[in-house]
Structure 1
Amino acid sequence: MRSFITRPRALAVLLAGTALTFSPLGGQATAKLPVDKLPSADCFVPPAGSAAKGGRGADTREISVAEQKAIEARTAQRLKERSARGIAVPKGALAAASIPVYVHVMRDAAGNGDVTDAQITNQIAVLNKTYGGQESSQAANTGFTFSLAGVDRFNNSNWHKDKQSSTYRKQTRKGGANALNIWLVDFAYLGIATFPWDYDRNPGIDGIRVHFDSLPGGSIANYNLGETATHEAGHWLGLYHTFQGGCTSTNDEVSDTPAQSSSTNGCPEGRDSCSLPGLDPIHNYMDYSYDTCYNQFTPGQSTRMSNMWTAYRA
């Protein structure tokens, strides 16, 4: 995930949010903001970990080594059970799902935090480009496509600042496990995501929160091409950061992403932070590089997303 900083999860007042529009259109990782855009002191700051994208905090909940092993075992069991019921992907193939996307624009009472319909359309186009492997000859086509299912806009100053996030997500989320909900907010992160294996226990908050100014045409330098949503959707589809676990052979559970000891900042060609084989995968969407540096998912990541989709979201 990419992130700025997560907001408090206190209960919200139901009447505080007023949906202004809903338009059907056919059908947790983070990075931090500049000091002058940091949230107020009542924000919840995640536990310290690897420096987040753009110098911001962690954008997913922390996964221990023990839990990581348990998740892999659980996923294997779910895939086996689904295969027995005829819910499986042929060997060598991918899930190739079409994902409906619901975008929730969280403006404050003065209308700050709004984005244009064109920006939202361009963001969906970025998701289709990046997940279609269209930014590099080395990139994998994951088989996932994204279609805009609806947009709604709220005027609520607390929600705009990502306060009461559990409440506002439960009140506004649409669709089932297969639907990607994107909440556009103004916080100290670039983005925050949930993992697919957490859906069953807390479906109401499933999705990704993205800083509204990280969309194409936004104002956050180096992070305004829409690649934050690509990164966070990767978590939502079951990918870890490429630096998960540091310089270890297990790393992010994907064999074709070289291990790295720490996250990347910028686009430092030739960076090699780990003694294990391979240079750091600085061009991978699941590192913390600049938007202009990103250009690929690997075939191994594509397979992992397909398996996670089948296990938890199909």
Structure 2
Amino acid sequence: MHQGVFKAHSGTQIAGIVSRAAAPIVVDVALHVVTTATKAADITQKMADDQFAALSKAYAASNVQFNRIATTFTVNDAWAVGAGSDATAMKTALRNGTYRTLNVYFMSDLTGSILGTCSLPSDIGPGTPAPSTYIGDGCMIQANTMPGGNIYGFNQGMTTVHEVGHWMGLLHTFEGYSCTGNGDFVSDTPMQSTSTDGCPSKLAKDSCPQSSGVDPIHNYMDYSDDACYTGFTPGQNKRMAKMWAAYRTGR
């Protein structure tokens, strides 16, 4: 608690301060569904719509809003896998907007047997760089993690919520797999040295018993099942806002 001089503000000044504090981060988002020919009918418009709704709901408490500017459907057997240069070709052809535009590619056969991957924000240089300098920016997600998909335990859309957290500048709650060090650089997420499998309920998971708090298994930035997730911490919200202002605002 800090002691100091309290300065009164007029009603207009107070309203202005509250308005600035409450101004949400508004993120334009383009969703791209990319499938093989044999799986073209498996991923539907409803799944994309439900995914966008899940994303919006998850980030509402973080004062982040999403404005969908496009939903595209593409049939391309190579792009649906996205190995090597095929991923670059896909993004070059489909990417929408600027560096502050979130592009999410939902791929029916995503390479690497993973659920998703996403780029972190970074310094792309001064001025207005050409789109070719950040063509790799965005998220590649296994399409069946969308609501209604066929990946049991991971079909409520939370993979996208997790990966977009990276795009907004967050790291895993178990970053570094250690009970010492900086971890995820967020002070209100307890130290965690192992990722979570499932949703432990009988006993609290505590991979760093010498540190305060138990593992944040309900945090979107752990690896828990979709149904286990509940939200971000205030510290994570602050980090997202800081990273947005530093790297994506106006770009």
Partner residue of 2:71?
151
Deviation at 1:224, TM superposition (A): 0.2
> Where does residue 47 of structure 1 map in the other structure?
none
**Residue of structure 2 equivalent to 1:265:** 197
Question: Aligned partners of 2:187, 2:116: CA distance in 1, in Å?
Answer: 26
Q: Deviations over 1:18-69 (max 9, x none)?
A: xxxxxxxxxxxxxxxxxxxxxxxxxxxxxxxxxxxxxxxxxxxxxxxxxxxx
**2:221 equivalent in structure 1:** 286
1:242 corresponds to 2:173: yes
Q: Does 1:108 align with 2:30?
A: no
Greater relative CO (CA pairs within 8 A, separation 6+):
1
Task: Give 2:56's aligned amino acid.
Answer: N
1:207-218 alignment to 2 at 5 Å? Answer: 207-218=138-149
What is the DSSP-based 3-state SS (H/G/I as helix, E as strand, rest coil) of the residue aligned with 2:71?
strand
2:184 corresponds in structure 1 to 252
Residue aligning to 1:12 = none
Q: Which residue of 2 aligns with 1:166?
A: 88
Change (3 A) 1:254 1:147: same
Normalization by structure 2: what TM-score? Answer: 0.81
Structure whose CA Rg is larger: 2
Q: How does 1:66-215 map to 2 (within 5 A)?
A: 93=21, 96-112=24-40, 114-132=42-60, 141-163=61-83, 164-185=86-107, 186-187=109-110, 188-197=113-122, 199=124, 202-215=133-146
- Structure 2 Cα separation of the partners of residues 220 and 199 of structure 1: 35
When normalised by structure 1's length, the TM-score is 0.65
Classify the secondary structure of the residue corresponding to 1:130: helix
Residue 109 of structure 1 and its aligned partner are, at CA, apart by 2.8
Residues 296-307 of structure 1 mapped to structure 2, 5 A cutoff: 296-307=231-242
CA deviation profile, 1:138-176 (whole Å, cap 9, x unmatched)? xxx211011221111221111111222122112211111
Whole-angstrom CA distance in 1 between matches of 2:149 and 2:73: 18
Q: Which runs of 5+ in 2 are unaligned?
A: 1-16
The letter of the residue matching 1:216 is: P
Matched pairs, number = 217
Report the RMSD for the aligned CA atoms in angstroms.
2.0
Structure 1 residue 113 displacement after superposition? 7.0
> What residue number does 2:243 align with?
308
